[in-house]
Structure 1
Amino acid sequence: MYELEKLGYQSIFEHDIHAKYAMGRIATHSNGIYKILSPQGEFQSQCSGKFYHLAEEPRDFPCVGDWVLFEPLIADGKGTIHKVLERKSLLSRHGAGEKKEEQLMAANVDIVFLVNGLNEFNLRRMERYLIQVYESGATPILILTKRDLCEDVEAKVKAVEKIAWGVPIIVVDTLSDSMEPIKAHLSVGKTGALIGSSGVGKSTLINRLMGEDIQKTQGIRDADAKGRHTTTHRELFLLPKGGVIIDTPGMRELQLWSGEESTNETFQDILGIGQACKFRDCQHNREPGCAIKQAIENNQLSIERYNSYQKLQRETKFLDLKDKYGTHHAARLQGREIRKKKK
């Protein structure tokens, strides 16, 4: 039996409660089977036939973290899902391959912990993760792991601060440091999620937060000091002293599923500099009085960060065009725009 508040229940969901059905939260999902945690207990559930008939796209179906209305068969430990309640946030990405398909990662998350290993330091990857979190509606917090394998921690933290404006940064050795700085963000009613590349220490963090070995972990490879992939599915856990945490599989590649607005949120510094350009429609190419070019020359802005901004802006703009016109027409429109800027 689970109390709704300990499952992360908040008053935002009250208007969706239906007296006919029970309410619970999705803890795991595999092959159309959803494990629901509820005041009535745990239930292995499936969506109703009507649900399947009305669903039109992936985000119509439940995912880990969702609140659902379901009909429990208490004697059998099974249930039938009839409705997904309105989400307050949704973390998703582009599915693998060329097909335009959204892959849902976690719903109703308040805080997303972006886990990055200091021994595999990649600022450009962090920028992608930040865009993903801003698009979801959750709040990002950066966790830098493998502190024991890094000799220039302070310098790397300063580098992260430059690309993650106002985002809290927690540096930990997941095996020995206190988890209190992370737990402080996860009180009763709050839900966090861990995302990051394979082997950065997410499973170890889960085990430390839970106080027991819930998730399998593997040591780093001797050949390159990189971690190994362990988590294979998304799962929701209730922390012993309150709060909920969702673990996700490591991502070797992150294809965005977002628009330009989230990119702008991540690159506020570049947008701020650009406002000082002489011309309002400055393309930051050959125009005189370009504040972006001046900032790069003065080392106020790194050329790597600006190039990353341009690349991600093109990628998110292409996603918007592809959604409107299809892949072929979107590629033609974007190619035409790139050629125009080069003239």
Structure 2
Amino acid sequence: MSIHEYGWSDYWNGFWDQWKQSFEERAENTQVRPARLIADYGQKVKLMTMDGERWGAASGKLRHAIVDPAEMPAVGDWVAVTVPDGTSDAVIHAVLPRKSRISRQAAGFETKEQLIATNVDTLFLVNALNHDFNVRRLERYLIMAWNSGVDPVVVLSKSDLCFDVEERVAEAEGVAPGVPVIVISALQNEGREQLEAFLQPGRTVALTGSSGSGKSTIVNWLSGAEVQLTQDVREEDSRGRHTTTHRQLFPILKQAVLLDTPGMRELNLWDDSTGVANTFADITEMAQNCRFADCKHQGEAGCAVEEAVQRGELSESRVNNYRKMQRELEYQARKEADRRKKDQRSSTNQGRGGNRSGWRRDVEW
């Protein structure tokens, strides 16, 4: 296999020719070749080059130049590499500009972007039709998708375990207007053709969802081979364990590339307001009719959103979740602003000689 089976297209080929010439002039004629980062194992990554798979790592110069960890090479990236010989690891010298980037707020108290994948065209939002079905969580995944610049597709898996499929579909369509909703059962081989319609040659399709939703099973089902390990979920609460422990790309013969990701128990949003506006388009459109432009939809006079709830045109639980998302993102924005002020003060103090130790934090890989 080579990069042609991993999404290399006429678009990337034409872009590479222009980018390569400019890069090599800046990099003192370092002769680089294209590769795609297909799996991340921590200190090392797996690359697909023109000549096949090869282990690799970022060069020291690249690590030193990148301050934001989210700019380090990630799964899905197209990168420029050199290969010293037939047995040595490849060296990553640069990351090509990304078409899309799927991110979330990293766990912990620090406001920081955690990059999940890059250069994804379509994102399958996998939600199992069992005890784990949750439209409020689905709204969070939709926000992430819209904010990432990818096309979302809601995939309702394990339909063989559900007795009210039509009701669940209606709930999903209610929070994802205009987004395709596909019902599947890998066990009964149902819904495969609808999924394959999105697996066009040269496209990259990622799967995201909670643990136990069936992402790895879908990858195996569409691949026609056991390329991913799977585990059963607990019957009493439909909760699963993390089967997938790292992000990895899998090519589908003569079709797209699939990207499986570890399950997420909790999705903390990393958003620039685009995702919320698209996910809750019905609410934001209704809000245009509020009496006050800065209406918070919490008891203000002339609030069109609350009036719509009273008339039954909007779901109260959906509006409550919209408010929750707004509060969460406002809090995140305040934390990010405080962090930047702190970093600015620290940088100013160092410039005045406040820190002469020469210490520099290593870039997170």
TM-score by length of 1: 0.91
Instruction: Using the TM superposition, give the Cα deviation of residue 130 of structure 1 relative to its aligned residue in structure 2, in angstroms.
Output: 0.6
| Aligned position for 2:226 | 213
* Cα 1:135/1:52, change in 2 over 3 Å: same
Name the structure 2 match of 1:332: none
Shift of 1:205: 0.3
SS at match of 2:201: coil
Correspondence 1:181-200 to 2 at 5 A: 181-200=194-213
1:110 equivalent in structure 2:
121
For residue 327 of structure 1, report the CA deviation from its aligned partner: 9.7
Could you tell me which of 271, 287, 291 is aligned with 1:274? 287
**Residue in 2 that maps onto 1:341:** none
How far has the Cα of 1:93 moved from its partner? 1.1
2:131 equivalent to 1:128:
no
Aligned to 2:20: 17
Q: 2-side partners of 1:278 and 1:93: how far apart?
A: 34
Distance 1:183 1:284, change over 3 A: same
One of 128, 150, 155 as aligned partner of 1:138: 150
Match of 2:160 in 1: 148
C-alpha change, 1:326 and 1:75, in structure 2 (3 Å) is: closer
- Cα deviations across residues 170-190 of structure 1 (Å, max 9, x unaligned)? 101122224221111011110
SS in 2 for 1:73: coil
Q: Which residue matches 2:2?
A: 2
The number of residues matched between the two structures is 328
Residues 1:90 and 2:101 aligned together: yes
Q: CA deviation at 1:108?
A: 0.2
Contact 1:17 / 1:23 at 8 angstroms: preserved in 2? no
For 1:197-231, what per-residue CA distance to the aligned partner results, in whole angstroms no more than 9, with x for missing partners? 00000010000111011111112223333333311
Distance (whole Å) between structure 2 residues aligned to residue 77 and residue 147 of structure 1 = 47
Q: Which moved more, 1:14-23 or 1:249-258?
A: 14-23
Please name the residue that 1:336 is paired with.
none
Q: Read off the aligned partner of 2:336 and give its amino acid letter.
A: D
Question: In the alignment, is the contact (CA less than 8 A) between 2:76 and 2:119 conserved in 1?
Answer: yes
Which residue identity is paired with 2:319? Y
Cα RMSD, aligned residues only: 1.8
Structure 2: 5+ residue stretches without partners: 25-30, 343-365
Write out aligned runs for 1:1-343 (5 A).
1-4=1-4, 6-10=5-9, 11-12=11-12, 13-14=15-16, 15-18=18-21, 20-119=31-130, 120-178=132-190, 179-326=192-339
In structure 1, what residue type is equivalent to 2:54?
Answer: F
Q: What amino acid is the match of 2:335?
A: K
Task: Summarize deviations over 1:298-336 as a string: whole Å, max 9, x none.
Answer: 11111110010011011112222222223999xxxxxxx
Secondary structure of 1:17 counterpart = helix
Letter matched to residue 147 of structure 2: E
Q: Distance in 2 between matches of 1:283 and 1:204?
A: 42
What code does the residue aligned with 1:286 have? G
Q: 1:328 to 1:138 in 2, by over 3 A?
A: same
- Counterpart CA distance in 2 for 1:39 and 1:213 is 25
In structure 1, the residue matched to 2:348 is none
Distance in 2, matches of 1:172 and 1:156, equals 13
% identical equivalent positions: 43
The answer on whether the counterparts of 2:124 and 2:153 sit within 8 Å (CA) in structure 1 is yes
Tell me the SS of whatever aligns to 1:53.
helix
* Aligned residues of 1:259 and 1:319 also touching (Cα < 8 A): no
1:285–1:96 distance in 2 versus 1, CA, 3 Å: closer
Q: Kindly report structure 1 stretches of 4+ aligned residues shifted beyond 4 Å.
A: none
Contact kept? 2:3, 2:35, Cα under 8 Å:
no
Which AA in structure 1 matches 2:6? L
Instruction: Give the CA deviation at 1:102.
Output: 1.9
Separation in 2 of the partners of 1:165 and 1:61?
35
| CA deviations over 1:245-290 (Å, ceiling 9, x no partner) | 1000000011111122221111000011112223333332333332
Q: TM-score, normalised by structure 2?
A: 0.85
